[in-house]
A and B are shown apart, each in its own frame.
Chain A
Amino acid sequence: EVQLQQSGAELGKPGTSVKLSCKVSGYNIRSTYMHWVNQRPGKGLEWIGRIDPANGNTIYAEKFKSKATLTADTSSNTAYMQLSQLKSDDTAIYFCAMDYPGPKGVMDAWGQGASVTVSS
């Protein structure tokens, strides 16, 4: 069974950074893209960007280009997202998500979400 286990809740002060992790079991992340999505309180889903763990190539949504940095460690099968220069507007739940091949076609898997609260 493919599972994505995200790191725990983070409380960050304005102007600081946090780094979230997403550890994958049951599938080699080198064979897929890892996407990151956020959800602000009471709002919808918003795509942040994605990384190709095989080569480190990244694509970001325009508004997150200077906010998020995506990395991956294939040796531990873990993807990371660092959020910098935190502001109150970064308070949200952050999800990692990926596709993988299942017995009956492509499947998706999502992390459980990691809450980030920005407060002084």
Chain B
Amino acid sequence: DIQMTQSPSTLPASLGERVTINCRASRGISNNLNWYQQKPDGTIKRLIYYTSNLQSGVPSRFSGSGSGTDYSLTISSLEPEDLAMYYCQQYASSWTFGGGTKLELK
């Protein structure tokens, strides 16, 4: 099984700040990596698919990058509605989620 290690687990940030969340796979996943956002009410939506493709309707302040085993999600300027949980997910071999990152106000 492929393990996904996500960091940090908690990320205090200020509005307008640029933030980055990282994800490392236990072996290469050939860019088969998605990013999800889970709001406090539990609703889940995909932000980024295949490492760097922005899901339709997702603001352009979100971006993804990476290759091999290391991937990242960046928010260029934090908005209040971005305060949520974020998960990376590999789909190179079944699915595995990272442990999650709680993005909160500093």
Asked if B100 CB lies within 8 Å of chain A CBs, one says yes
Which one of B13-21, B43-51, B63-71, B72-80 is at the interface? B43-51
The distance from the CB of A78 to the nearest CB of chain B, in whole angstroms, is 20
Q: Is B59 part of the binding interface, using a Cβ–Cβ cutoff of 8 Å? A: no
Q: Across the interface, do A105 and B100 meet the contact criterion of CB distance under 8 Å?
A: no
Main secondary structure of the interface of B (DSSP, over half): strand
CA distance in complex: A59, B96 (Å): 13
| A99-119 vs B, Cβ < 8 Å mask (1 yes, 0 no) | 000111111101011000000
Contacts of B97 in A (CB 8 A): 37, 44-47
- Min CB distance A81 to B, Å, is 15
Interface size on A, residues (CB 8 A): 23
- Taking the closest CB of chain B, its distance from the CB of A35, in whole angstroms, is 7
Asked, given contacts A45-B36, A62-B1, whether A106 binds B49 with beta carbons under 8 Å apart, the answer is yes
A107 touching B87 by the CB < 8 A rule?
Answer: no
Closest chain B residue to A59, Cβ basis: B94
Report yes or no: A105 in contact with B56, Cβ–Cβ below 8 A.
Answer: yes
Asked if A95 is at the interface of the complex by the 8 Å CB criterion, the answer is yes
- Give the top 4 A-B pairs by smallest Cβ distance, nearest first: A47-B95, A44-B100, A104-B56, A108-B46
Chain A residues within 8 Å of B, Cβ to Cβ? 35, 37, 44-47, 50, 59, 61-62, 93, 95, 97, 102-108, 110, 112-113
